[in-house]
Chain A
Amino acid sequence: GDSVTQMEGPVTLSEEAFLTINCTYTATGYPSLFWYVQYPGEGLQLLLKATKADDKGSNKGFEATYRKETTSFHLEKGSVQVSDSAVYFCALKSPRGSARQLTFGSGTQLTVLP
């Protein structure tokens, strides 16, 4: 079945450091890929998405490129801020599936220190 593997956390960075959170997936066909973010005390919210190979999703300075050849969707940000401290979830949606078939990774806790 479909699966998502994220790099284990927690990740601790200093402000203005470069961020990469790795995400790889296993799925049949061409799934849609998502990054969700969960700020402390809140539910998840969509950060960015990509629906086909080589698409780049971007939002709030974060980027991720859908790489079919490496089955990856790594999240990057050039200069993190304290306000980026959160848990980040990679997720995929099967091309055959309904909304229920959204598979989440285990989440990566990011802490940014001033």
Chain B
Amino acid sequence: DVKVTQSSRYLVKRTGEKVFLECVQDMDHENMFWYRQDPGLGLRLIYFSYDVKMKEKGDIPEGYSVSREKKERFSLILESASTNQTSMYLCASSPDDRGNSPLHFGNGTRLTVT
């Protein structure tokens, strides 16, 4: 089975801190994603990466950046955390950019910014 591992289940950070959310997948997938999940809003795509060092902005990239130095690892960075970034963050991966391969999700990181 594909395993997508997010390094933290819960994080509490202070406003203005730099925050790193880490995600690792073990199936050599090309594509990796960061979503944000908020009640009533579903999942919104923050950033997407289709190869090492390659990234594209999603629907809500403001206030976030990403890093993909190795194929298996995709990091989400909050340069200066703000209270409106309190949310559940979900990482996902998929094997290719064609067809209908499903996304494989991690268990999520619940971030609270105080």
- Chain A residues within 8 Å of B, Cβ to Cβ: 4, 32, 34, 36, 41-46, 49, 51, 89, 93, 98-100, 102, 104-107
- Separation of A21 and B30 alpha carbons in the complex (Å): 33
Q: Does B107 contact A (CB under 8 A)?
A: yes
Q: How close is A7's CB to chain B, nearest CB, in angstroms?
A: 13
Mask: chain B, 74-112; 1 = CB below 8 Å from A; 0 = not = 000000000000000010101011101111111110000
Q: A43-B90, A44-B90 are in contact. Are A102 and B103 (CB under 8 A)?
A: yes
CB-based contact B100/A45 at 8 Å:
no
Q: How large is the interface on B (under 10, 10 to 19, 20 to 34, 35 or more residues)?
A: 20 to 34
Residues of B within 8 A of A4 (CB): 42
Partner of A93, one of B48, B96, B100: B100
CB-based contact B90/A99 at 8 Å:
no
Q: How close is B111's CB to chain A, nearest CB, in angstroms?
A: 15
Partner of B94, one of A36, A43, A45, A99: A99
Q: How close is A44's CB to chain B, nearest CB, in angstroms?
A: 5
Residue from B96, B97, B100, B104 with most neighbouring chain A CB atoms (10 Å)? B100
- Separation of A99 and B100 alpha carbons in the complex (Å): 8
